[in-house]
Amino acid sequence: MSKKIKTAYVCDQCGAESPRWGGQCTICGEWNTIKEIRLGSASTERNSRTGYAGSRSEVKLLSDVSLSQAERLSTGISEFDRVLGGGIVRGSVVLIGGAPGAGKSTLLLQAIANIADRGVSVLYVSGEESLQQIAERAHRLKLPAEKIMMLMETSVQRICDMLDEIKPHILVIDSIQVMHTQDTDSAPGSVSQVRESASYLTQYAKKHHVSIFMVGHVTKDQSLAGPMTLSHIVDTQVMLGATDDARFRVLRADKNRFGSVGELGFFAMDSTGLKEVKNPSAMFLNRAEKPSSGSVVTVLWEGTRPLLVEIQALVTDCQYGNPRRLAVGFDQNRLAMLLAVLNRHGGIFTAQDEIYANVVGGIKITETSSDLAIVVGVVSSLRDKIIPHDMFFFGEIGLSGEIRPVANGHARLNDAAKHGFKTAVIPKANVPKTPVKGLQIYGVSTLSEALDKVAEL
pTM exceeding the 0.75 threshold for the entire prediction: yes
Report the run of H or E that residue 320 belongs to, with start and end: none
pLDDT of residue 93: 97
For the chain, give every domain's residue range. Answer: 1-47, 71-278, 283-456
Mean local confidence (pLDDT), 424-431: 96
pLDDT tens, position by position, 181-207:
987 777 788 888 888 899 999 999 999
pLDDT of residue 52: 42
Q: Is the distance from CB of 54 to CB of 68 less than 8 angstroms?
A: no
SS3 at position 242: strand
pLDDT above 90 covers what percent of the chain?
63
Q: How many Cβ atoms are within 10 Å of 46's Cβ, its own excluded?
A: 16
pLDDT of residue 42: 39
8-state DSSP, 3: P
Question: What's the topology of domain 283-456?
Answer: Ribosomal Protein S5; domain 2 (3.30.230)
Task: Spell out the residues 6+ positions from residue 56 whose beta carbon is closer than 8 angstroms to its own.
Answer: none
Task: Spell out the residues 6+ positions from residue 380 whose beta carbon is closer than 8 angstroms to its own.
Answer: 293, 294, 295, 296, 313, 386, 387, 454
Mean local confidence (pLDDT), 375-399: 96
Mean local confidence (pLDDT), 132-161: 94
pLDDT of residue 4: 53
Phi, psi of 384 (to 5 degrees): 55, 45
Task: Spell out the residues 6+ positions from residue 227 whose beta carbon is closer than 8 angstroms to its own.
Answer: 14, 15, 191, 194, 195
Query: At 242, is the pLDDT very low, low, confident or very high (cuts 50, 70, 90)?
Result: confident
Mean local confidence (pLDDT), 177-182: 91
Given CATH 3.40.50.300, say whether it is the number of domain 71-278: yes
- The C-alpha atoms of residue 425 and residue 379 are separated, in whole angstroms, by 15
